[in-house]
A and B are shown apart, each in its own frame.
Chain A
């Protein structure tokens, strides 16, 4: 098969070369037939590689895929390489434990999955073709869903939130808040509002003291430079611990967008699966987080909100009652929310300019010329000159008084010359009141004192301790880092909902069955071949040779010796499990050892999977014992 590239072949060989002798020869014998000693492993590996590179072999392997295989393959395609334990853990709600172990083992026997240091990966020689059978539906249910137009924590919501915090000087949810966000369901809004308040405080975007809450506009701007999608990723990754929380959020969000909706089982599967993939610690609160930020809404099933945020903001409609409205999403750097208060966030976003909103903007260093230019540039139908005049007058009035928070420095002419001319001093000067009287910065008192001393001035030794408490701006490298990462986040490409190729009903090649029946074989050899044929590991006539790879696989009823023999065979082997049928239950165990009572009764000491609880079981009480080869490595 020409298109199988060398890299895939090399990868196949490398993986196979790491297998234990037992496993390796088990597989080699199955696919290559009887092996002649002395064994030349590299040659055998090359033969296996050639075999699985043949188009006919590939097609035969693929034709035998069934819907259960598809679930496991889709799981690996979505969440990357997984251990057997991880697979059984992820799917335990949907399939029985024993069944899962058998099927995962079977996929390894069929060399569809290979083990890579204990984690299962696609056979590199088949990977491209296998991926075509993978999709989200086998994992998340066959029911069709579509994303719904539902409100979520968007950048537009964030703008409105900032505007309201600036207006109220606090970020506490109250009933009046819901009037501003009529599309948001009240309880959800309350949750979102509070969570946002907490998170933004942690991030230092909101600065709170006992009396009021203010905004660090620079950080707010940084957050608003994100797209809706990136913002949600950032919010979802808020409480996650691990190596790649943002990537986790990206994968989860993107997959949910593709699905449009799912039930709780599927949702938990996705969360847990991506937690494994991105090494993020799973927390049960993640489901709540998805709901809090508006990504999901529960309506029988979970409905996913369509995250768009790409519709550009229309030009502003500025009415004489000082309302400003638009549709769509403001671009990064849009300043409307800084000088106007949110009225309503709906299809039409409406803000209102008031004296207080303008003064707030001036306080946050947004000057009138900037506001004027913004309004003139963005107004849909020309700017109302009367309104501009009003704002201009307000600005003039605002500038009539300036309050400095600083320290008065009165000095002689010589020192004044230094302050005027020495850049290292003048940068700490807020204003010059007279040629020898200055207001110096309070927060850099230590520095300018040092500079003065250094310049040879006698500076009073007592520092000003009567400081006004200045709210410390938190500098959080994590915030910068996360916003930076979120900004460069490109959307994860999830599997499609439906596979490119559907699995047909797996069929067994009757000609092979007949060949086995006609072959000159002992009973044991025939039984073993029959078993392997049923397990879909006999694909070619060349595999039908007289040999026994699995001496006994099952013993039950009055075949006490058979049962004892199986227990002996499995004892101490980590790649073999025993499936036990007791009067009232079925157990999957790892056989630890077999012991006998003085009355010669065989007792099996076994660890019950997956809890690994150790039990002593009399073999005579076991109706049926079945040997399961589950781990190939």
Chain B
């Protein structure tokens, strides 16, 4: 009954891959076609079958018999009947509800395969109100409800096979350079190409939208650029902050044939109109008063974009969700390293932007040298005596703050900086007073939310160009900031138990370089910070990182 194969298919629809098995790589290549990677620690990787992963597979032509045959082939134990049933049930739902063009351009046609589905649709008010009955198996749907009907139908377990081709948008010729403007040779890495292929497919119906999950430092921007090259169309890129906007623009100019006059910025400071625009989520969701409209959201809806790239898509704010539902005719790409939202709304993001199309274990890219080898340490220190009583009587929030701002962390930072005399170091924290203290103590520059963009850019540039070895940064540097030479990060405080923040901060030092990277998390011993730290580390632990604990008597 038991085969010597690397996979175990569990009844809860998770698939466990023994990564030490000699055939694990071949098995993984099959799994990624119809499963989602859930976690990838050092020994046993967990994949999961989900409705979305199966529909996604079906939409790419991966049929039930293929899935079952591969599972039968790779599975150590017989595949549970319940899992077989689930696969057959879910995967065959694809194609039972089809959306296509109609004679009237303001309406689409929704076809349902059976009377049962038709009745179910008509019995649900939220769906029925969107539909006009055409005949026994067809409905008409107002074009602007294309996203909404997909959302509603996914909720009841029916994916829409959207056969309306995406709009190509105005042509903007672009190609990637062989040598960057900076004079470095440049090629798209194999996994970056695979990611773009997975998303674009044959550019036919059902492809051209989705999310790509790649580790920090592995070059998600290049995947975006490669997709731009493949689509050659007017493009909007939405990212997390102005520094990231500038970084994207620099990357586009450095690595593609686009010229400065073709690439613009749309931020609080500058609002340009170009063929390729990079903007922030903040500017899109800005509104002068709490109940008023979002004046800049029109950039998304009325820009006639052929492609929208959502950088750090896990940060997608709620107002953009809604608009994204209306942008179903546009090619769209979500990029992220951490498929976790602390609010648990991952599913909504992925049903609007598109399902996960590509994912790769962090440790695999590390082994291949595409991201730096990183060592994580948790340094634990005691609270100073005078803080013990305030800590003991404080509220939960106060406790966390006291522990986070433990003055002894300064001594630790000093020692760690001394430990790495030749490294480029980021000192990252949550609390501005604490960061200012550190900056003052060491005479270091500091970047926070209130630092003017020009100054920020200058400091990042100094760091990148080697004139500044140590930077103190607040959470503004958590995401999307590319500092290729940073090899040490010292985290002195964080946003409670945020797993994505921890991973993103580690990501700041993962650009491949000729030295190992070190991530230090400084935590107050015997405090609530320890517990939050443990939670923060969960995502990375699931990627195979383990923290070495050091207890310091400062």
Selected from B39, B544, B549, the residue in CB contact (under 8 A) with A389 is: B549
Contacts of A355 in B (CB 8 A): 531, 534
Interface of chain A residues 279 through 328 with chain B (CB within 8 A): 317-323, 325, 327
Nearest Cβ in chain A — how far from B367, in angstroms?
15
CA distance A346 to B8 in the complex (A): 10
Proximity bits, A348-391, B CB within 8 Å = 1, else 0 = 10000001000000000000000000000000110011110110
A3 close to B (CB within 8 Å):
no
Nearest Cβ in chain A — how far from B462, in angstroms?
35
Selected from A182, A346, A348, A390, the residue in CB contact (under 8 A) with B549 is: A390
Known contacts: A182-B11, A348-B16, A386-B548. The answer to whether A325 contacts B44 by CB under 8 A is yes
Contacts of B143 in A (CB 8 A): none
Nearest Cβ in chain A — how far from B439, in angstroms?
31
Contacts of B41 in A (CB 8 A): 319-321, 323
CA distance A346 to B76 in the complex (A): 13
Contacts of B534 in A (CB 8 A): 355
A515 close to B (CB within 8 Å):
no
Interface of chain B residues 61 through 88 with chain A (CB within 8 A): 76-78, 80
Selected from A317, A321, A327, A389, the residue in CB contact (under 8 A) with B542 is: A321
Known contacts: A355-B531, A387-B546. The answer to whether A346 contacts B11 by CB under 8 A is yes
Selected from B8, B526, B545, B549, the residue in CB contact (under 8 A) with A320 is: B545
Interface of chain A residues 175 through 227 with chain B (CB within 8 A): 179, 182-183
B551 touches A393 (CB 8 A): yes
Interface of chain B residues 508 through 554 with chain A (CB within 8 A): 526, 531, 534, 538, 541-542, 544-549, 551
B549 touches A386 (CB 8 A): yes
A344 close to B (CB within 8 Å):
yes
CA distance A381 to B20 in the complex (A): 10
Q: Which of A321, A322, A393 has the most chain B CB within a 10 Å cutoff?
A: A321
A174 close to B (CB within 8 Å):
no
Contacts of A325 in B (CB 8 A): 16, 44
A397 close to B (CB within 8 Å):
yes
B10 close to A (CB within 8 Å):
yes
CA distance A325 to B526 in the complex (A): 29
List the B residue with the shortest CB-CB distance to A384: B546
B551 touches A381 (CB 8 A): no
Contacts of B43 in A (CB 8 A): 317-319, 380-381
B16 touches A393 (CB 8 A): no
Nearest Cβ in chain B — how far from A387, in angstroms?
7
Known contacts: A346-B12, A347-B8, A355-B534. The answer to whether A319 contacts B42 by CB under 8 A is yes
Known contacts: A183-B80, A321-B39. The answer to whether A347 contacts B10 by CB under 8 A is yes
CA distance A318 to B44 in the complex (A): 9
Contacts of A346 in B (CB 8 A): 8, 10-12
List the A residue with the shortest CB-CB distance to B548: A386
Contacts of B42 in A (CB 8 A): 319-320
Contacts of B526 in A (CB 8 A): 397
CA distance A323 to B41 in the complex (A): 10
Nearest Cβ in chain B — how far from A228, in angstroms?
17
B546 touches A386 (CB 8 A): yes
Known contacts: A320-B541, A321-B542. The answer to whether A344 contacts B549 by CB under 8 A is no
Contacts of A347 in B (CB 8 A): 8-10, 76-77
Nearest Cβ in chain A — how far from B116, in angstroms?
25
Contacts of B542 in A (CB 8 A): 321
List the A residue with the shortest CB-CB distance to B41: A319
Q: Which residues of A contact B (CB under 8 A)?
A: 149, 179, 182-183, 317-323, 325, 327, 344, 346-348, 355, 380-381, 384-387, 389-390, 393, 397
Q: Which residues of B contact A (CB under 8 A)?
A: 8-12, 14, 16, 20, 39, 41-44, 76-78, 80, 380, 526, 531, 534, 538, 541-542, 544-549, 551
5 A-B pairs with least C-beta separation: A182-B12, A319-B41, A320-B546, A321-B541, A182-B11
Sampled A-B contacts (9; CB under 8 Å): A182-B12, A319-B41, A319-B42, A320-B544, A346-B10, A347-B9, A355-B534, A385-B548, A386-B549
Given A347-B76, A347-B77, 8 other A-B residues pairs in contact with their CB atoms under 8 A: A149-B78, A179-B12, A319-B43, A320-B546, A321-B41, A325-B16, A380-B43, A381-B43
